[in-house]
Structure 1
Amino acid sequence: MIIIIGAGLSGLLTAYRLKTAGIPFKVLEARTRLGGRINTVYGTDTTPIEMGATWFGDYHKHLITLLEELGIGYFEQYMEGTVFFQPFSTSPAQSIQIPSQPPSYRISGGSCNLIDTLYQQLDKNDVLLNQTVTDIKFGKNSVQIKANDIFEGSHVILALPPKLWSKKIQFEPSLPSNLSNIAQHTHTWMEDSIKVALSYAEPFWRQEHLSGTLFSNTGPVTEFYDHCNHDTSTYALCGFINSSFKHLDEGDRQAKVMAQLKAVFGSKAESFIDYKECIWSNEKHTFTASDTPLFPHQNNGNPIFSQSFYEGRLLISSAESASVFPGYMDGAVHVANVTAKKIIDETY
Structure 2
Amino acid sequence: MIIIIGAGLSGLLTAYRLKRAGIPFKILEARNRIGGRINTVIGANDTPMEMGATWFGDQHQNLKALLEEFEIRYFEQYMDRIVYYQASQTSPIDSFQIPNQAPSYRIEGGTSNLINCLYNQLDEGDILLNQTVREIKFLNNSVEVYADTVYIGSRVVLAIPPKLWAKRIRFEATLPSELMEIAEQTHTWMEDSIKVALTFDQPFWQTTGQPRTFFSNAGPITEFYDHCNSERTKFALCGFINSSFKKLDDSERRARVIDQLKKVFGPKVGEFTDYVECVWSEEKNTFEATDIPHYPHQNNGNQFFRKTFFEDKLVLSSSESAAESPGYMDGAVFAANLVARKLIALDGLKAF
SS in 2 for 1:312: coil
- For 1:166, the equivalent position in structure 2 comes to 166
1:67 matched to 2:61? The reply is no
Q: What amino acid is aligned across from residue 59 of structure 2 in structure 1?
A: Y
User: In 2, distance between residues paired with 1:46 and 1:109?
Assistant: 10
- For 1:225, the equivalent position in structure 2 comes to 225
SS in 2 for 1:45: helix
Aligned 8 A contact 1:81 1:209 in 2: no
- For 2:258, the equivalent position in structure 1 comes to 258
Q: What amino acid is aligned across from residue 226 of structure 1 in structure 2?
A: D
Q: What amino acid is aligned across from residue 239 of structure 2 in structure 1?
A: G
Aligned 8 A contact 2:219 2:241 in 1: yes
Task: Give deviations 1:77-112, integer Å, cap 9, x for gaps.
Answer: 011453111112112211111111111100000000
Q: What amino acid is aligned across from residue 250 of structure 1 in structure 2?
A: D
Task: Give deviations 1:103-125, integer Å, cap 9, x for gaps.
Answer: 11000000000000000000110
Q: What amino acid is aligned across from residue 100 of structure 2 in structure 1?
A: S
SS in 1 for 2:339: helix
- For 2:210, the equivalent position in structure 1 comes to 210
- For 2:185, the equivalent position in structure 1 comes to 185
Unpaired runs of 5+ residues, structure 1, are none
State the 1:209 CA deviation.
2.6
- For 1:11, the equivalent position in structure 2 comes to 11
Task: Give deviations 1:145-173, integer Å, cap 9, x for gaps.
Answer: 01112101111000000000000000001
User: In 1, distance between residues paired with 2:290 and 2:23?
Assistant: 36
- For 1:305, the equivalent position in structure 2 comes to 305
- For 1:201, the equivalent position in structure 2 comes to 201
User: In 2, distance between residues paired with 1:207 and 1:171?
Assistant: 59
Task: Give deviations 1:50-89, integer Å, cap 9, x for gaps.
Answer: 0000000011000000000001000010114531111121
1:49 matched to 2:19? The reply is no
- For 1:295, the equivalent position in structure 2 comes to 295
Q: Taking structure 1 as the reference length, what is the TM-score of the superposition?
A: 0.99
User: In 2, distance between residues paired with 1:108 and 1:317?
Assistant: 26
SS in 1 for 2:45: coil
Aligned 8 A contact 2:2 2:156 in 1: yes
SS in 1 for 2:125: helix
Q: What amino acid is aligned across from residue 117 of structure 1 in structure 2?
A: C
User: In 1, distance between residues paired with 2:74 and 2:208?
Assistant: 26
User: In 2, distance between residues paired with 1:79 and 1:44?
Assistant: 23
User: In 1, distance between residues paired with 2:267 and 2:290?
Assistant: 41
Q: What amino acid is aligned across from residue 326 of structure 2 in structure 1?
A: P
User: In 2, distance between residues paired with 1:183 and 1:314?
Assistant: 15
State the 1:232 CA deviation.
1.2
User: In 2, distance between residues paired with 1:69 and 1:281?
Assistant: 33
SS in 1 for 2:308: coil
State the 1:203 CA deviation.
1.0
Aligned 8 A contact 1:309 1:315 in 2: yes
SS in 1 for 2:272: coil
User: In 2, distance between residues paired with 1:60 and 1:343?
Assistant: 24
Unpaired runs of 5+ residues, structure 2, are none
Runs (4+) off by over 4 Å: none
Q: What amino acid is aligned across from residue 305 of structure 1 in structure 2?
A: F
User: In 2, distance between residues paired with 1:37 and 1:149?
Assistant: 25
SS in 1 for 2:17: helix
Aligned 8 A contact 2:63 2:333 in 1: yes
Q: How many residues align?
A: 348
State the 1:210 CA deviation.
3.0
Task: Give deviations 1:162-204, integer Å, cap 9, x for gaps.
Answer: 0000000000011110110000000001100000010001111
